[in-house]
């Protein structure tokens, strides 16, 4: 059925001259390379199932390269498998394994060189160095791919989906595990990352630098070495993503560094060492996010300005907010804090006394990490209680003036 649809699509959309070329052990073209060479712009190369060891396939014309039942392209740990050097190429339905490893040449499973309108979909990539690498692409879509690597060391591994200097990308419904960074963006703008699952990667689930005007929606980032890192970017929007189980030294649900004009809504942060670590962030608006069972829900350095948190839920976190200075230029309003002990006399569901989410002990731990050994001891809870009554060390202005009595959502 799919095949018919595809043929229909090709028939409808392709120029009248387009044809289908078959490659496979029992076909006229026994190698994929020869079939690609025979194809002209607009042709479709259909590859039968089987094992192919064809070193490097270079596509220089606008064709559709389609595998039937996942033909296996084996790079024998030496070669890059598919290199795309033409616009409008589609690569669909391959199983790509054992690429070469070279940090010098950035060897990938599928690499796109300076091209537009590329679609890479429904592929399975295993044990590749870079998985899918787009260099200087425009309007490309990477969809429904599965990328798995089993790397043990960061130096020996590379990123799953790597985009460099791109515009208008669509990264949709991919699964990436075991790479260095699951998804990597550098100088990528106007793009969307949607419904991807990036787990168990060595460094970041998502690594994001110098990339403006991007949106990511409904992704899952779990169990990555250091969570998600978003740095030096403007106008980023994040909706309904899950950041989970990012544990360990210097590990965050999400690291926001030098970010401006961000918007975060409906994200879930669950069981991270620190759910959000913010440094030099400006004008970030966060609402309807939920922070559950994290070590720190929010570490907000004094370098952050005009960060606004409204109507978020904070439950079961060891520390709600940690900070390193006394200057506070950020705003907390109408959030729900499960540690809030205030009251609501006029029954407007808003607490009558402000909530101070920075505890004395969290300040101490911030400064003297070994003080963690006193976690949950009598003295620290006593310190916190006294500090609540007579604030001296904790920043005076860091408070939620209108905390909610019930969860915000």
Partner 1 sequence: MKKIVKYVITDILRNKIVLVYTLFLLAASFSVFSLEDNSSKGLLSLLNIILIVVPLVSIIFATIYVYNSAEFIELLVSQPLKRKTIWLSLFTGLATSLSIAFFIGAGIPVLIYQANMVGLTMILTGVLLSIIFVAIAMLATVKTRDKAKGIGAAIMLWLYFSLLFDGFVLFLLFQFADYPMEKPMIAVSAFNPIDLSRILILLQLDVSAMMGYTGAVFKDFFGTYIGIAFSFSALFLWIALPVWYATRKFNTKDL
How is residue 118 written in tokens? 């590329």
Q: Does 203 bind partner 1 (CB under 8 A)?
A: no
Q: Is 272 exposed, middle or buried (0-12, 13-18, 19+ CB in 10 A)?
A: buried
The enclosing H or E element of 274 equals: strand 274-279
Task: Please tell me the distance from the alpha carbon of residue 135 to that of residue 133, in angstroms, as a whole number.
Answer: 6
DSSP state, residue 169: -
State how far the Cα of 143 lies from the Cα of 48, in Å rounded to an integer.
Answer: 21
Nearest distance from C-beta of residue 403 to partner 1, angstroms: 20
353 part of the interface to partner 1, by CB under 8 A? no
Q: How far is the CB of 290 from partner 1 (least distance, A)?
A: 15
Task: Give Rg (Cα) of the chain.
Answer: 25
Compose the 313-352 pattern: x for residues touching partner 1 by CB under 8 A, - for all others. ---x-x----------------------------------
Binding mask 251-290 for partner 1 (x = CB under 8 A): x-------------------xxxx----------------
Q: Is 374 in the site for partner 1 (CB under 8 A)?
A: yes
Element (DSSP H or E) covering residue 2: helix 2-13
Cβ-contact 285, 261 below 8 angstroms = no
Return the number of the residue (353 or 382) whose C-beta is nearest partner 1: 382
Query: Is 369 near partner 1 (CB under 8 A)?
Result: yes
Taking CB under 8 A as the rule, does residue 12 contact partner 1? no
Residue 394 touching partner 1 (CB under 8 A)? no
Q: Which of residues 105-124 bind partner 1 (CB under 8 A)?
A: none
Cβ burial of 3 (10 Å; 0-12, 13-18, 19+) is exposed
**Near partner 1 by CB under 8 A, which window of 38-46, 169-177, 205-213, 377-385?**
377-385
* Cα–Cα distance list, 144 to 216, 318, 335 (Å): 16, 37, 37
405 interacts with partner 1 by CB under 8 A:
no
Site residues, partner 1 (CB under 8 A):
247-251, 271-274, 294-295, 316, 318, 364, 367-382
């Amino acid at each position: 059925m799919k095949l018919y649809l595809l043929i229909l699509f090709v028939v409808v959309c392709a120029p009248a001259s387009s044809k289908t070329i078959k490659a496979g052990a029992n076909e006229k073209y026994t190698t994929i390379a020869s079939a690609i060479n025979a194809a002209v712009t607009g042709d479709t190369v259909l590859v039968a199932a089987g094992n192919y060891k064809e070193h490097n396939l270079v596509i220089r014309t606008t064709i559709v390269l389609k595998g039937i039942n996942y033909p296996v392209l084996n790079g024998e740990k030496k070669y890059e498998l598919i290199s795309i050097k033409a616009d409008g190429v589609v690569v669909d339905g391959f199983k790509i394994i054992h690429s070469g490893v070279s940090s010098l040449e950035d060897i990938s499973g599928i690499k796109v060189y300076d091209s537009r309108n590329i679609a890479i979909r429904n592929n399975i990539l295993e044990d590749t160095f870079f998985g899918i690498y787009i260099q200087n692409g425009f309007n490309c879509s990477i969809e429904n791919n599965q990328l798995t690597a089993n790397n043990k060391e960061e130096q020996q591994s590379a990123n799953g989906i790597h985009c460099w200097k791109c515009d208008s990308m669509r990264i949709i419904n991919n699964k990436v595990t075991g790479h260095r960074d699951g998804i990597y963006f550098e100088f990528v703008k106007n793009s969307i990352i949607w419904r991807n699952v990036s787990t168990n990667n060595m460094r970041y689930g998502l690594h994001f630098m110098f990339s403006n005007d991007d949106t990511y929606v409904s992704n899952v980032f779990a169990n990555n070495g250091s969570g998600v890192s978003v740095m030096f970017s403007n106008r980023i929007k994040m909706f309904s993503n899950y950041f989970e189980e990012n544990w360990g030294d210097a590990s965050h649900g999400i690291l926001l560094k030098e970010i401006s004009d961000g918007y975060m809504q409906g994200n879930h942060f669950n069981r991270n060492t620190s759910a959000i670590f913010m440094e030099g962030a400006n004008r970030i608006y966060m609402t309807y996010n939920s922070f559950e069972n994290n070590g720190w829900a929010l570490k907000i350095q004094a370098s952050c300005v005009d960060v606004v948190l409204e109507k978020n839920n904070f439950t079961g976190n060891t520390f709600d907010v940690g900070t390193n200075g006394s200057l506070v230029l950020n705003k907390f309003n109408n959030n729900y804090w499960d540690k809030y002990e205030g009251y609501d006399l006029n029954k407007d569901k808003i607490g009558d006394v402000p909530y101070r989410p920075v505890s004395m002990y969290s300040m101490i731990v911030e400064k003297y990490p070994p003080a963690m050994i006193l976690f949950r001891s009598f003295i620290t809870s006593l310190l916190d209680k006294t500090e609540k009554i007579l604030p001296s060390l904790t920043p005076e202005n860091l408070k939620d003036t209108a905390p909610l009595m019930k969860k915000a959502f």
